[in-house]
Structure 1
Amino acid sequence: MLQKTNRQTLVEQVALQMENMIESGKWSVGMRIPAEPELMAELNVSRNTLREAIRALIHAGLLKTKQGDGTYVCSSSALGVVLKKRVLRSDTLQTLEVRYALEREGAHLAAQRRTDDEAHELLLQLERCEAAAKRGDIDQFVTADIQLHQMIINASHNEILIEIYSHIGEALHDSITSLTRYEVDADFVAMHRQLVEAIVAQDGDRAVAAVHRYIEESKDVITQDEGEQP
């Protein structure tokens, strides 16, 4: 038998208000939230209620406390925390499969919906990736590569897809870094140029094919590496 749902407690209401400030960007990631007296006055709650709400958000992974310094925002949403933890528990092949699903659709939509300004910015970002690869700067390439893929997803103008991808971006960093130990070569970089040029040309099928090529290449690299392990 279904039971009546309980109304939110005061602590839950306060935690929700604080979560909304984080998700709206009023409290950005890395920011130290206001001190207790200021929050107590703003939210019109007691110290105990406020502390319980903060503890709930710390447990959810949105806030973290630095001893003697204050409480900081460490994630922009609870969804981001969950996705990041899940990606970090997955192996590289599973992560690639998720990337393929998201990046394939993102590339297809971006080819249809990108603006002229977005096309220009994608070409500039591609040049940054190519320059880092030419220098052999793996760290800079990884950073530029993640930014490039996020820009492509942003150009899809699908807010849900953008949010999901942005939340797993940090967790993808380790996966992409491990892959680029092997594959930052001319062919791999060329696949990214094919992808960007297809989006600029608004050729969705060609963009999807480019995503397929570099994901399959990455899978082959992983498979070969595992086969060489003793």
Structure 2
Amino acid sequence: MSDRSGLIDRAVDQLRKHIISGDWPVGSKIPTEPALTELLGVGRNTVREAVQSLVHAGLLARRQGSGTYVLSDSELTVVMGRQIADANHQHVLEVRRSLEVEAARLAARRRTDEDIAALRGLNTARQAAFAGGDIDEIVAADLALHRAIAATARNPVLLSLYENLIDAIGANIRTNVIGLVHTQSEDDHDSLVESIALGDSYLAMEEITSYLDAYIDDPLA
């Protein structure tokens, strides 16, 4: 490896660390080229190539006349997003079921009092969002609750898989929510949350399975 290639690789690694650590959150603008030159201790050409490498990877995006912004904090999310961009709605539901059934089982076994309070709070927020009828708020509230259940499972591999599918899951939830709003159907997670709170892993699995199966078996899904 040449000295220059090594410099670029190190610069890429440093930039990636700032993104992954949250120093530069998703949606934020990264420092200007002169600032990056000083931060990384390399020349402008090296900075440009390092930034371009992360643009190609999908972590950064250049906006003409505005600057460079953080698009994602995970290359795996980008890769998986590209792979499933045109995924069938039902296929995503089936993957959700495989992840969320196990998440519910583990959450029921591993939840703490703090987890129970948090899940109940998120469920209340979800109910309020449904009552308000705003699609974006409903999707955000529903996704927050499901992600919290995945986090409560305390399995870092499962949570990583779930978070790297979060865009597809969010789009999946949106499709489901639009159908519910249009048909004025009721949809609650009270039994799911309470089964986790009670530590009943079998009931938690049954609740999330029944919930997702209703969508999977729906011929309009």
Bigger Cα displacement from structure 2, 156-165 vs 89-98: 156-165
Match of residue 90, structure 1, among 84, 87, 94: 87
Q: Which residue of 1 aligns with 2:68?
A: 71
Where do 5+ consecutive residues of structure 2 fail to align?
none
Does the CA contact (< 8 Å) of 2:150 and 2:159 recur in 1? yes
Q: Distance in 2 between matches of 1:83 and 1:130?
A: 31
Q: How far does residue 99 in structure 1 lie from its aligned partner after superposition?
A: 0.6
Alignment of 1:39-118 (within 5 A): 39-118=36-115
Q: Distance in 1 between matches of 2:99 and 2:30?
A: 33
Match of residue 34, structure 1, among 28, 31, 35: 31
* Identical pairs, percent: 38
Q: Distance in 1 between matches of 2:122 and 2:16?
A: 33
Alignment of 1:203-214 (within 5 A): 203-214=200-211
Letter in 2 for 1:160: V
Alignment of 1:1-230 (within 5 A): 9-183=6-180, 185-186=185-186, 188-189=187-188, 192-221=189-218, 223=219, 225=220
Q: Distance in 2 between matches of 1:179 and 1:28?
A: 29
Q: Return the TM-score normalized by structure 1.
A: 0.87
Q: How far does residue 142 in structure 1 lie from its aligned partner after superposition?
A: 1.4
Q: Distance in 2 between matches of 1:181 and 1:109?
A: 30
Q: How far does residue 136 in structure 1 lie from its aligned partner after superposition?
A: 3.5
Measured on the aligned residues, the alpha-carbon RMSD in Å equals 1.8
Does the CA contact (< 8 Å) of 2:92 and 2:168 recur in 1? no
Query: Does the residue aligned with 1:88 lie in a helix, a strand or coil?
Result: coil
Letter in 1 for 2:79: V
Letter in 1 for 2:85: L
Query: Does the residue aligned with 1:45 lie in a helix, a strand or coil?
Result: coil
Q: Distance in 2 between matches of 1:137 and 1:67?
A: 33
Where do 5+ consecutive residues of structure 1 fail to align?
1-5
- Give the direction of change, closer, same or farther, for the CA distance of 1:12–1:153 in structure 2 (3 Å limit): same
Query: Does the residue aligned with 1:147 lie in a helix, a strand or coil?
Result: helix
Q: Return the TM-score normalized by structure 2.
A: 0.90
